[in-house]
Amino acid sequence: MALIVQKYGGTSVANPERIKNLASRVARYKALGHQVVVVVSAMSGETNRLIALAKEIMPDPDPRELDVMVSTGEQVTIGLTSMALMDLGIKAKSYTGSQVRIVTDSAHTKARILNIDDAKIRADLDAGYVVVVAGFQGVDEHGNITTLGRGGSDTTGVALAAALKADECQIYTDVDGVYTTDPRIVPEARRLKSITFEEMLELASQGSKVLQIRSVEFAGKYQVKLRVLSSFEEEGDGTLITFEEENNMEQPIISGIAFNRDEAKVTVLGVPDRPGIAYQILGPIADANIDVDIIIQNTGADGTTDFTFTVHKNELNKALDILKNKVQGHIGAREISGDDKIAKVSIVGVGMRSHVGVASQMFRTLAEEGINIQMISTSEIKIAVVIEEKYMELAVRVLHKAFELEEA
């Protein structure tokens, strides 16, 4: 007998038929003697609908009140899921985040889980219930309802699995696993049987949307055995997130390609090259709570330097305003410019640690297509480039081919 946490995304609970389908799957696990905790998202589209509704009332919704109403999407699906299980003759009980007591900090709309009280869930499991828990939500120490950020049900699932020391956390979604890249762009993309936790973390942070990045961080911290599966297929092993690099000679150098069109580039031209400049540029950006991703700076022969960094597209104008109004005159920069027609393409693989020439192969492949590289950023297991947005899909396709990702 195993204890399994199954998390179902919005498409898996999109309508009554799919919820019934989900219940039959849970019933099969129950019949095998397993204990099952189910975590559900809101019906697909529902969270967007609720946020849009809030914005019609208040353009910049109050975060506490937004959490109160946006968390209702999951309250609907836990009730329906429990009913679907009961209808199959299975004992089931649902809980909201605050009923479980998934305690978070008070950062509304992006709260972090601090503690989970597992007493009720354990008692129910021992009494033979399937426990159904609302994803994406918690409660702070003052009793305010909080939410965990978009896609946060993944994190609820993994956090519950960690708290309950579950044998496995299964994430059911509309794809049957983690792919070498998005099959909508490269039809030859291949499902990975396994991927290391580090690679998954890089892919998630570079733009792969299969798992919320926080859930991957959580899985890493608590060594939760995580598997991504399709809720539309009866069979299949999905993709297992592993903690050890497989001792496999056939292990490809690159495991996956991620991409992201959400970033914009900010360039500060003609900055004097002296200590403290990077801080004078990025300090006010950080004070405004703007996340910075890639940063590049180089020194020119004339003693000045150009400073370039990327931010989320939504924050480009805010960043430019800050630089023009508060920073430019101060540091004597010649010009400040922004560009939101960029995309970031990243290749990720633990095999990079033991192979040389990966970067040069990537750059050669892009050069052969005449794609100009604007920025480069690397980690031990990742190379990311910023290119013109219109070449993004082409870049992903040619890199997928160059690194032979379509072959098993």
Contact residues for ligand ASP, defined by CB under 6 A = 9-10, 41-42, 47, 73, 135-136, 150-154
* Residue list 9-38, contact with Mg ion (CB under 5 A): 9
Q: How far is the CB of 105 from ligand ASP (least distance, A)?
A: 18
From the CB of residue 269, how many other CB atoms can be counted at a distance below 10 Å? 14
Q: How far is the CB of 154 from ligand ASP (least distance, A)?
A: 6
CB 55 within 8 A of CB 61: yes
Q: How far is the CB of 36 from Mg ion (least distance, A)?
A: 20
Q: How far is the CB of 132 from ligand ASP (least distance, A)?
A: 15
The rounded Cα 175 to chain-centroid distance in angstroms is 15
- Residue closer to ligand ASP, measured from CB, 72 or 377: 72
Q: What residues have CB less than 8 Å from 86, skipping those under 6 apart? A: 92
- Residue closer to ligand ASP, measured from CB, 78 or 342: 78
CB 148 within 8 A of CB 39: no
Q: How far is the CB of 79 from ligand ASP (least distance, A)?
A: 15
- Residue closer to ligand ASP, measured from CB, 97 or 152: 152
Residue 378 bridge partners (DSSP):
383
Q: How far is the CB of 49 from ligand ASP (least distance, A)?
A: 10
Structure token pair of residue 95: 């809980």
* Sequence-ordered alpha helix ranges (H) in 168-299: 197-205, 213-222, 277-287
- Residue closer to ligand ASP, measured from CB, 97 or 349: 97
Judged by beta carbon distances under 5 to 8 A according to partner kind, the member of Mg ion, ligand ASP, none in contact with residue 73 is ligand ASP
Q: How far is the CB of 329 from Mg ion (least distance, A)?
A: 45
Structure token pair of residue 357: 């020439």
- Residue closer to ligand ASP, measured from CB, 54 or 384: 54
User: Counting contacts by CB under 5 A, is residue 97 touching Mg ion?
Assistant: no
Stretch 143-162: interaction string toward Mg ion, x if CB under 5 A: --------x-----------
Buried b (16+ CB within 10 A) or exposed e, 351-383: bbeeeeebeebbeebbeeeebeebbebeeebbb
Judged by beta carbon distances under 5 to 8 A according to partner kind, the member of Mg ion, ligand ASP, none in contact with residue 43 is none
SS3 187: coil
DSSP conformation class of 198: H
Structure token pair of residue 281: 């540029």
Nearest C-alpha neighbor of 182 from the set 403, 340, 345? 345
- Residue closer to ligand ASP, measured from CB, 152 or 207: 152
CB 304 within 8 A of CB 272: yes
Judged by beta carbon distances under 5 to 8 A according to partner kind, the member of ligand ASP, Mg ion, none in contact with residue 91 is none
- Residue closer to Mg ion, measured from CB, 48 or 106: 48
Triad 78, 73, 151: Cα angle to 5°: 95
Q: How far is the CB of 103 from ligand ASP (least distance, A)?
A: 18
Query: Taking contact as CB under 5 A, which single stretch among the options 7-15, 105-113, 131-139, 257-265 is the one that binds Mg ion?
Result: 7-15
Judged by beta carbon distances under 5 to 8 A according to partner kind, the member of ligand ASP, Mg ion, none in contact with residue 361 is none
Q: How far apart are CA 210 and CA 190, in angstroms?
A: 14
The residues of the shown chain that bind Mg ion, judged by CB under 5 A, are 9, 151
